[in-house]
Amino acid sequence: MKLVIYIDGGARGNPGPAAVGVLIGNKSYQERIGNTTNNVAEYKAAVFALKKAKQFLGKEKAKSEIEVRTDSELLYKQLNAKYKIKDKELQPLFIELWNLQQDFKKVKFIHIAREENRLADRLVNQALNTLL
């Protein structure tokens, strides 16, 4: 079984009010996450997505392949060992993501164009707009 997930995270002000948006199958999720940076929001979107995938799949998670699609080049390159993680705020989030990945057969992070991630981006903006 392969589950495709679209994620996005964003902050207004960087740092500033931040939110995550996640699409798993036909389910969409959005959540405000307080004040933080864009990069932290992108990581938190990935963490949120894998936690939701565990709930969504239940006992089938160990047999499942997950494909996480993101428009964040930094997140993609750090999770695929192309960039080092120097930011101290991102290191614990990377570890949390690494641990979450162990629950699945395979987790693959894919970089996509921003245009292909419009729905997840819209969820982030909807959550942020509720702050105003």
Q: What one-letter code names the amino acid at 105?
A: K
Beta bridge partners of 16: 36
How many Å apart are CA 123 and CA 36, to the nearest integer?
17
What's the chain's Rg over C-alpha atoms?
A: 14
Q: Which contacts qualify for 128-131: CB closer than 8 Å, 24 or more apart? A: 128/10, 128/12, 128/17, 128/18, 128/19, 128/32, 130/32, 131/17, 131/32
Q: Which CATH class is domain 2-129?
A: alpha beta
Residue-range domain boundaries for the chain: 2-129
Question: pLDDT tens-digit profile of 62-92?
Answer: 899 999 999 999 999 999 999 999 999 999 9
pTM of the model: 0.95
Distance in angstroms between the alpha carbons of the first and the last residue of the chain: 40
Question: pLDDT tens-digit profile of 15-69?
Answer: 999 999 999 989 999 999 999 999 999 999 999 999 999 999 998 988 999 999 9
Helix (H) / strand (E) element for 103: namely none
Residue in this structure with the two tokens 């192309």, named with its chain if needed? 82
- Strand 16-24 versus strand 2-11 pairing type: antiparallel
